[in-house]
Every structure is written in structure tokens, then in C-alpha cells.
Structure 1
């Protein structure tokens, strides 16, 4: 069955193929996974995780771009990120980053001027350091490549937020994939597919995919592509974004070897 676009009204720059932009390389993905688990990560799993992360970041950037366009701007500021998430709750991913970012930590005290520069707040909370946050800078090049693919740039604070969200999201994806392997599938998380209020029921493609991914196939020591896809269904609660991420990851790994 052909997957229909989730939001046909979207306009503006968009990549023609999921393989046109590959900002998060498998070596980077595997480095993140090594922070989480000692399990081997197959090449197809690394490509799938990179694809899912790219899909999520692209959707966040697209939402922020549309918010900025309403003010005739092509340079994104953190306020555009907040607007994108406020308009589409599916984009609320990598939320552990929110504890470390001024954008989210103190919404009433942190302001940005017209150039997107942080105006210091009197209230500051102490940041906890985790591997995902410490390693967030690794995603800067990929984030900037995605921004260019959308025809926009971003102020440094916005790039840092996108870095952090990508890092935390991929770290969470790695943890869930490792759990899927250890427990032999997604049984721990149940079989109910969450659907947001007002969303249509999941199409047959997605239902069939979720059923097929419910059981881990492998030796118990290797994270494979299907384990990443199962983890994706756990991380992404909105069916529109989840469906798109699964479809693009499947396309991105069609010609990738399992090793």
C-alpha cells in the first residue's frame, strides 16, 4: 500500500529522496550506541537509526521554518522551536534535553532579542550532565546540513537545541533497542498503538509493520534494523511522524547489508 503524506499542505524546501541527505553517519550512530550498550550494532541498524533521527529532526526544522516564515525570517531562533512543538505535539521528542536548555528550562525568564541572542535570566537551574548532553556537539554538522536542506539557517542557540534533541533522542532510541533485544521483542511495552486525539486510525501498513516488529529476531547480542524500528514505535507516539519515520528508515536500509 502506498503511504500517503501525513501533511499534504506542507510547502517549502524538502528533500526529494530520503537518501539525498545523510547527515548522521553510521559511525556517529554507533558511537552513541557505545555510550549505552555493549551490544553489537549491525550496519543496517545504524543506517535505520540515522534515518529515523534525520526524519525527526527534519520535521522539527520544518515546523520551526514555517513559524519563522510567518515573520518573514529565514534564520531560526529558539522561539520557532517552541512554536513548532506547540503546534504539533508529535515533535516533542528528546525531552530530557529540556532540562539542560535555557529555551525550555525557564520559559518565563529566558528571552531572545531579534537576533536570537539569549538575554540573561536571573533564574538559572544547575544542569545535570549525561552522556547524551555531553556528546550533543557531535550532531552540529548534521543539523546544519539539515537546515540547509530546508533553505534556512539558525542562530547558535537554536543549533544547540537541535543538537541536544538529536543526541538525546538517539540515545533513548539506543536504550529502547537494547531492551527490545534483551527481552526478545516489544512485549514489555505492550501491543497497543497509541493514537493522539483527532488522529485517524493507523493505516494497514503501519499496523502490519508494528505486528511484524513485535518479536526480536536475532542472537540476543546484536541490535538489528528491526530492533531500531521497534524502538522507533516506542519513542514516537504520534502515528503520523512514526509512520513517516518507519517508511523512510525502511527505504534507507533496503540495500544495506545486515552486518
Structure 2
């Protein structure tokens, strides 16, 4: 008998660089989008959204790692997340999660010990369940995979916060992408970028890129890759993180189909 040729795997991009771009699967991304809009989400849009989410979470983890290193710790705790955001305002994303997390209520009294457990001497002023955020906890496996890829470990409370931030950020990204489709671009929001003290101004090519995304082409029923890029410019106000997210998303989707 003659050997049958190997059948190509189905369900996503075939290049290794694209497959490795994010620990967040396109099927999960599309599930989040379905919670927000009935519009069709193209394959390249799903990969772009996954890539942007990965870039944001990676930057947060890097900032938390630096905070932990200053205290000679390897395991990340929620306090490291607060430190990362305090030092880099660009990382303040997914802020709807803050109302549901003891970490951010910690700004008014919660204290975590070295294992990420709420110290008994401090109590929350009110109790809120993280499950109140639609889609929370969908990203736990992806967060853990991302932490491993960055050579980091984290206490459960820190994993929960990264999970929640990823969920809220992607939900907000989906809403903005749907708005971009409905409005025909981001003209309503403009293309100005925030100048952060002590950091260089965004390079000209980023400003040109933002102008190019200010109007869209295509039908009004499908969220495409460029709609995700446009939504990214709305969600990420800092020039540096925004630039990295856009660059990585374009790289991640250069070999994907638009279906």
C-alpha cells in the first residue's frame, strides 16, 4: 500500500512564529467577543487580539518581576502588581477588574503577606466576587503559561489578578473593535498620544500608523485585524506599550488568513 500524505492540521495559522505568539487561543478570544457583539470575528482579528493581550500581560509581568527582584523574591505577589502599575502608568489597563479584586481594595487597607494571602489584621471594607466580571477566570491557563515563558511564578492571588485583567482588557478591546466597525474608524477619538514624563515622544511611524487606522474599509458585519489595531490605539494610551502591541500584532498576523 502506498503511504497517504500527511493531512495538514486545521484550525489556525500554520507558521511556528504565529502559533507561538500567544498563550491565549483564538477560540477563547472569539468566545469573549461573542459576549460583546454578534459581529463575525475574522481569524486574523482573533490572533491580533490574542497578541495584544499577550503583549500587555507580558509588560505587567516584567514590571512585577522587577519589583519582586528588589525584595529578593522570585514568586510574584499582588503587591508587585501594584508596584508595576505605580511605576508605569501605561500598565493601568483592565481597570474594571479593580473593583472586584482585593489587591486594589488593598489601597484602602488590604495587606498581603509573602505568600499572597490577606493578612488577618486587615480586612476588606466590602466583599465582591471576582465572578461578577463577565469572563473572569477564562484566562488562568494562559496566564500560567505566560508566566512560565517569562521565567516567573506567582501566588494564586496574583494569577487571579492577571487573569481578571486579561479578561476585562480583552472584553474592552472587543467593545472598541465593534465600535470602530460601526463608526467606520476612530475619527471620533482622534489620534493624539499621551506624552509621559521622562519618556521620548512616539516615533513618526507610530503617528503615521495611527492616522492610517483613523478610517476603515470593509463591510460593517466583520471585525478584522485592522479593527483590532484601531481598538488597541483606544485602549492603550501610552506610546511605548501601544507601539509594541501594534508591532507584535502585525507580526503575529502577517501569515494568517482574513477569514
Partner SS for 1:103: helix
Pick the structure with greater CA Rg: 2
Distance 1:43 1:200, change over 3 A: same
Match in the other structure for 2:4: none
Match in the other structure for 1:105: 105
Does the CA-based 8 Å contact 1:74-1:151 persist in structure 2? no
Which runs of no fewer than 5 residues in structure 1 stay unpaired? 1-16
- Aligned-pair CA distance for 1:205: 1.8
In 2, Cα distance between equivalents of 1:229 and 1:203: 17
1:217 equivalent in alignment to 2:217: yes
State how many pairs are aligned.
242
Does the CA-based 8 Å contact 2:130-2:136 persist in structure 1? no
Match in the other structure for 1:5: none
Match in the other structure for 1:229: 229
Match in the other structure for 1:193: 193
Q: Deviations over 1:124-181 (max 9, x none)?
A: 32437777x2422110011001111111110000000000000000000000000000
Query: Which region of structure 1 is more displaced relative to structure 2, 237-246 or 112-121?
Result: 112-121
- Aligned-pair CA distance for 1:114: 2.0
1:139 equivalent in alignment to 2:147: no
Match in the other structure for 2:24: 24
Distance 1:88 1:101, change over 3 A: same
In 2, Cα distance between equivalents of 1:73 and 1:20: 28
Cα RMSD over matched residues? 1.7
Distance 1:107 1:18, change over 3 A: farther
- Aligned-pair CA distance for 1:187: 1.4
Distance 1:130 1:211, change over 3 A: farther
In 2, Cα distance between equivalents of 1:149 and 1:50: 16
In 2, Cα distance between equivalents of 1:89 and 1:245: 16
Match in the other structure for 2:5: none
Q: Deviations over 1:10-38 (max 9, x none)?
A: xxxxxxx7763521010000000001000
Distance 1:110 1:129, change over 3 A: closer
Q: What is the correspondence of 1:115-194 to structure 2 with a 5 Å cutoff?
A: 115-120=115-120, 121-127=122-128, 133-194=133-194
- Aligned-pair CA distance for 1:201: 2.1
Task: Tell me the TM-score normalized by structure 1.
Answer: 0.89
In 1, Cα distance between equivalents of 2:188 and 2:131: 25
- Aligned-pair CA distance for 1:188: 1.6
Q: What is the correspondence of 1:2-13 to structure 2 with a 5 Å cutoff?
A: none
Partner SS for 1:136: coil
Does the CA-based 8 Å contact 1:195-1:237 persist in structure 2? no
Does the CA-based 8 Å contact 2:195-2:201 persist in structure 1? yes
Distance 1:19 1:70, change over 3 A: farther
Task: Tell me the TM-score normalized by structure 2.
Answer: 0.89
